[in-house]
Amino acid sequence: MAETGTTFAADGAEKQFRDGLNRGEFNIQQCASCKKHVFYPRTLCTNCGSPKLVWKRAAGTGTVYSTSTERYKPEAGGDKNIAVVQLDEGPRMLTRITDIAPADVKIGMRVTAHIGEADGIKLIYFRKA
Ligand SMILES: [Zn+2]
């Protein structure tokens, strides 16, 4: 079967990110023109529109920007945190803070990334630094 995904540039950036995750890497893009970091994966810089986006290993450190609790029944695993984390490189990402009670996650809390899995898909999660 021919690989058709490469003809869609947007799928290409997403696929490269997912391939990195499957290798245990948390990668984000940096614009070679304006030096801004970009996340979620894109084909054009969100700041200056340049197509010169280069993959870099993320530091994996950041700060909780906003937080809330998703309510689930105990048999469904109980309540879960959902948060926006501002990476030290600048971009914000929607994620979960794990290994802590959802209500104990505070705005401004320092966090570090780890790779988790949900429904067989690798995802970037964070825990308290
Ligand atoms: Zn740029």
Q: Give the integer Cα–Cα distance in Å for 97 and 84.
A: 9
Question: At 77, is the pLDDT very low, low, confident or very high (cuts 50, 70, 90)?
Answer: confident
Give me the pLDDT at residue 118, please: 87
Q: For the segment 33-74, what is each residue's pLDDT rounded down to a tens digit?
A: 999 999 999 999 999 999 999 999 999 999 999 999 999 999
Instruction: Indicate if the pLDDT at residue 9 is higher than 80.
Output: no
Q: Are 112 and 126 in contact (CB under 8 A)?
A: yes
Residues lining ligand 1 (ion), CB within 5 A? 31, 33-34, 45, 47-48, 50
Q: What pTM, to 2 d.p., does this model score?
A: 0.86
Domain boundaries, the chain: 8-58, 60-129
Please name the residue that has the structure tokens 């825990």. 127
pLDDT over threshold 60, residue 4: no
Q: What is the DSSP letter of 91?
A: -
Could you tell me what percent of the chain has a pLDDT over 70?
91
- By three-state DSSP, how is residue 15 classified? helix
User: What pLDDT band is residue 17 in, cutting at 50, 70 and 90?
Assistant: very high
How many CA atoms lie within 13 Å of 89's alpha carbon, on the beta-carbon side?
A: 21
In this prediction, residue 5 carries a pLDDT of 40
* Residue 38 Cα to ligand 1 middle (Å): 8
Q: Confirm or reject CATH 1.10.287.1080 for domain 60-129, answering yes or no.
A: no
Local structure of residue 107 (DSSP, 8 states): T
90-80-15-1 Cα dihedral, nearest 10 degrees: -170
Tell me, in angstroms, the distance from the centre of ligand 1 to residue 8's CA.
21
Q: What's the CA angle centered on 80, arms 79 and 82, to 5 degrees?
A: 140
